[in-house]
Structure formats: structure tokens, C-alpha cells
Amino acid sequence: MYLGQLIFLIVGCVMVAAAIRVVTSHRIFHAALWLIASFFCVAIVYMLLESPFMAGIQLFIYIGGIAVLTVVAIMVTKDAMSADSRTVSNGWSAAIVAISLFGVMAWTIVQLDLPTEPGMPVSGDSLPLLGAALVDPGGYLLPFEVVSVLLTVVLIGALFLGREH
């Protein structure tokens, strides 16, 4: 077994364990911290796949943006950090929803016509093309602006809900 495969297996096990802890944690703050660990493992997998750009995006967008925003929103929301707050009120209904979603995703994957040959290799100038598409007004500029406004609104909403009356 190669070193890369061993690292992938270890990181994969840690990622799955962290994802399980996200949904089984009794405290929402701990679930957010496990989510950060899971996101970090995904970034390591991207590095193993020799895609440092995607690993950087994973670190900056997901860990640096969404996960930290979630932690800040939890910390400023009143009573979210108290010892009485729990994330799951009915474990059986959560299990039913999770198993149902897994079934739908598994059925969808089985129905797909997966290619037998690898796709086209990525060209060396793909990163500049991606950057140009992200800032092009006809490309993905509007979705990124909408997401940034949405995250700002979520943070302001969390601060509004967490303020003392």
C-alpha cells in the first residue's frame, strides 16, 4: 500500500467520524467544531488529489467563511451556549429522515450511467479561465454576490437575535 493511499484511508476515517459526530453531538457548538474538522479533512483529500486550488477554496470558503460564521452566530444567539440547549429533540425522526435521504441518494447513484473511461485531462490554463468566469458579469459574478449578501444578512440576523433586551 502506498503512502498516499494510507493517508487517504486515515483522513477518510477521520472525516467520516467527524461527520458522524456532527449529527450526534448534543451541543450545537460542538457540532459546529466537528463540522470544521470534517471540512478540513475534505481539504486534505483535495490536496491528495493534487488540486491545491480546490483545497484552498475549501479552507477559505468553508472553514474560513461558513463554519466560522456558524460558530459566531451560535455564540451570539441567546441561550444557544447554555447547558440546557440540545440540537436533537427527537432522534428517531432524525434517523428516519437520514435513512430516507441516504436511500434516495443511493438509488440516484445506481441509476446513473457512470463513464468507464476517465474524463479529459485538465489543461494548464484552466485556473485563469475559472478566475475569469468567476468575475465575468455574464458568468458567476451574480451568484457569488448573492451568497455574500446572504451571509451578511445571516450574521446581522444572528446579532439581532442575540442582543440583550
Task: Measure the CA–CA gap between 63 and 52, rounded to whole angstroms.
Answer: 15
Task: Measure the CA–CA gap between 138 and 125, rounded to whole angstroms.
Answer: 20
Q: How many residues does the chain have?
A: 165
Query: How crowded is residue 25: how many other Cβ atoms within 10 Å of its Cβ?
Result: 18
What is the signed CA dihedral for 156, 138, 63, 7, rounded to 10 degrees? 170
Cell numbers found for residue 3: 503512502
What does the pLDDT look like over 88-144, one tens digit per residue? Answer: 567 788 789 889 999 999 999 899 887 777 777 767 777 788 788 878 888 888 888
Please report which confidence band the pLDDT of residue 155 belongs to, taking 50, 70 and 90 as the band edges. Answer: confident
Which pTM does this prediction carry? 0.61
Cell numbers found for residue 53: 486550488
Look at 78-82, 85-89, 94-98 and tell me which has the smallest mean pLDDT. 85-89
Task: Measure the CA–CA gap between 44 and 15, rounded to whole angstroms.
Answer: 10
What does the pLDDT look like over 38-75, one tens digit per residue? Answer: 999 999 999 998 888 888 888 888 888 877 777 777 77
* Domain covering 1-103 in this structure, CATH number: 1.20.120.1200
Cell 483535495 sits at which residue?
46
Hey, where are the domains in the chain? 1-103, 130-165
